[in-house]
Amino acid sequence: MEKLIISSCICGAEVTKEQNPNVPYTVEEIVREAKSAYDAGAAVIHLHVRWDDGTPTQSTERFQECVDAIREVCPDVIIQPSTGGAVGMTDLERLASTDIVPTPEFATLDCGTCNFGGDEIFVNTDTTIENFAKIMKERGIKPELEVFDKGMIDTALKVDKKGLLVHPLHFDFVLGVQMTATIRDLVFMVGSLPPGATWTATGLGKNAWAIAAATIAMGGHVRVGFEDHLYIEKGVLAESNGQLVEKAVKLAKLLGRPIANPTEAREILGMPPLKK
């Protein structure tokens, strides 16, 4: 079976130190968490950034500062800036994370609007999705197609028919927000993908490890980290993103999946080698 790519979503835009004191805000904390995940086996760092007080931001300058600092300690890791940002941000704000130098090799592209709970709506119109896809293609950025339900896969495929996406397509299933996070749902999502696509999955909160185990067994790739879940086991807060990655590595070992390093991950995803 193909080697397993582990992505670590180290801080997200919504979780706080009140929920887990190890959630990183400052540049130094973000670097600490990225390195802990990388050292444990993560090939991809899914990156949101915060101001020092924890406020989420898509500031190009802040992303640049964090990416440069991560590169100092993890020179070959795949850094994947989020273009999702936080609820309420404009399209231009969200795209600012891709203005760093050098241009990111990988970034997220959310493929639909969804409810984040209460009155929070994460808006991604068809126009937004197509514009993001065009800009990423022009800049040579491979998109990770973030999908929260099956309809978003269909939206991504409509965008692909317009020639706006980069092949092989790569999807990330975020389960437990708009679609429930069960093995049934995961199998349905995987069965909806076109031939040749690669995929990653994550289950939010209590669903994290069941989805991770099923994904590893099914040949997909795994995302873990504080953005999606804060506990290493029921009632026990994770000490670091590295600890969460270590658990994913142990699951992979039990299920016979070797871990992909960043170079191998680029090859699996159809990305060019890292420019020196």
pLDDT class of 120 with cuts at 50, 70, 90: confident
pLDDT attached to residue 50: 97
The average pLDDT across 216-223 equals 98
DSSP-assigned letter for residue 11: S
Query: Closest by alpha carbon to 64, among 110, 28, 96, 29?
Result: 96
Quick: pLDDT tens for 221-249: 999 999 999 999 999 999 999 999 999 99
Collapsing DSSP to helix, strand or coil, 106 comes out as strand
Quick: pLDDT tens for 133-180: 999 999 999 999 999 999 999 999 999 999 999 999 999 999 999 999
| Residue-range domains of the chain with CATH | 6-269 (3.20.20.70)
Quick: pLDDT tens for 2-58: 999 999 999 999 999 999 999 999 999 999 999 999 999 999 999 999 999 999 999
**Strand pairing class (198-203; 49-50):** unpaired
Left if phi > 0, otherwise alpha if psi is -120 to 50, otherwise beta: which for 225?
left
What b-and-e string marks burial along 109-129, b requiring 16 or more CB atoms within 10 Å of the CB?
bbbbbbeeeeeeebebeeebb
Dihedral of CA atoms 257, 240, 171, 193 in degrees, nearest 10, equals 50
Q: Please state, rounded to an integer, the average pLDDT across all residues of the chain.
A: 96
Could you tell me the pTM of the whole model? 0.97
Ranges of H-type helices in 145-261: 150-161, 183-191, 208-218, 241-254
Dihedral of CA atoms 116, 119, 122, 126 in degrees, nearest 10, equals 120
pLDDT class of 276 with cuts at 50, 70, 90: low
DSSP-assigned letter for residue 209: H
